[in-house]
Amino acid sequence: MHELSIAMQIIEIVEEEAKNHAAVGISAIKLDIGKLSGIEPDALEFAMEEAVRGSMAEKAEVQYNYIQAVSVCEDCCHEFESQDYFKTCPFCNSLNTSLIRGKELKIAAIDLITN
Amino acid sequence: MCGTCGCGEDDHITYRKPGDHNVIHTHSHQHGDLTHVHPHAHPHSHDHSHEHEHAHEHDHVHTLNLERNILSKNELSAERNRGYFEGMKIVALNLVSSPGSGKTSLLEKTISKIKDKIDTAVIEGDQQTLNDANRIEKTGAPVIQINTGNGCHLDALMVNKAMKQLNLKQNSLLFIENVGNLVCPSLFDLGETKRVVIISVTEGDDKPAKYPTMFETADLCVINKTDLSPYVDFDEEKLKATALTVNPNLEFISLSAKTEEGMDKWIQWLSDLKTN
């Protein structure tokens, strides 16, 4: 259940940014979450509902952009979608592959309310 | 930050050395949380001010493109730790596994074998108790116990606070025994030099298939309790093959901390890290 730690980190960062920009509230939080980032979507969305309470983001709409994982094979150069952590290239069976998308754990943007 | 109740406090995390009997701080903080949470839970007046905000929203909402890593704070702390370790020529190992894989037994045996050659210190992570720190203390190595309360992993800041109390020596070896958990600790860089995942033969050879993230982020996989292999259906080659599909660079050492079979390879691996 590390998703609550993650949710708390999100709130800490967005509140810090909001204060730095003299905002009075946060109306939206846009998150980029890679499908292989180690985050369980249901757990994160549940944790976020709890984490926003009493924060500047209490009424914020949280948008989750889940990013499909994509790997590239270093041997045959094909790109392929990865559903899991197993790295075998479906074209040449090489294990010499690298994930190029899907590990994101990022706050893409926030909407700030200012007076 | 509290990853359990989300209270924004981390004071219910305790840092203790064997012999310490400090009190648990939970009560005062729970009161703090309650008073903190309540004022936000029920007033209806919020609705009015919310409508008020709406009237002005078009003029006063602006988007800030952050593109900021959510774990950036932990990563910053981890890099601080890493820089400290490099400057002090300390090799720090993050030991991760399920509960009961034999991490503490392996450490006890390891320290007793190397303590005359390498200064070794230990940070123990568990949800509760000083049990592991008490076991390590008997080996003579400096040890500090982090109790995470209900937290499921160590983070870089906890390690930073703990290591300040250990007075680490130059050219030493630091073992960080993470909370027994094959899921959450994989996401949290502690600033370690290498990450070591430990699995025992009694756990089944499909662990890398079930918990791939931990094997993906580890540098070495120690297969422990090999003395029990004849009694369990554990296919070591199958485990290795599965783990390699997740992490082709993973190294393996099979050993028994109990009989000490294979311990020499582990000690050699540690010594090589020290000299590199």
- pLDDT for the residue B149: 87
pLDDT in tens, B115-147: 999 999 999 999 999 999 999 999 999 999 999
* pLDDT computed for residue A61 by the predictor: 97
pLDDT given for residue B204 in this prediction:
87
Look at residue B196 and tell me whether its pLDDT is greater than 50: yes
**What pTM does this model have?**
0.83
**Residue B17 to residue B137: CA distance in whole angstroms:** 9
Which of B215, B233, B226, B236 is closest to B265 using CA atoms? B226
CA angle B141, B147, B149 (to 5 degrees): 170
- B245/A27 CB distance under 8 A: no
Question: Are B133 and B139 spatial neighbours (Cβ–Cβ below 8 Å)?
Answer: no
**Domains of chain A (ranges, CATH numbers):** 3-67+102-113 (3.30.2320.50)
Calpha distance B40→B154 (Å, rounded):
30
Per residue in B14-62, pLDDT tens?
999 888 865 444 333 444 333 333 344 444 444 444 444 445 445 589 9
Distance in Å, alpha carbon of B9 to nearest chain A alpha carbon: 11
With beta carbons under 8 A apart, name residues in chain A contacting B213.
38, 85
Q: How far apart are CA A110 and CA B18, in angstroms?
A: 46
B12 vs B253, more confident: B253
Inter-chain CB proximity A6 and B71 less than 8 Å: yes
Q: B50, A68 in Cβ contact below 8 A? A: no
Give me the residue spans of the domains in chain B.
Answer: 72-275
pLDDT tens-digit map of A49-102 = 999 999 999 999 999 999 999 999 999 999 999 988 888 899 999 988 999 999
Residues of A in contact with B245 (CB under 8 A): 86-88, 95
The single-letter code of the amino acid at B243 is A
Are the beta carbons of B60 and A115 separated by less than 8 Å? yes
Kindly state which CATH superfamily the domain B72-275 is placed in: P-loop containing nucleotide triphosphate hydrolases (3.40.50.300)
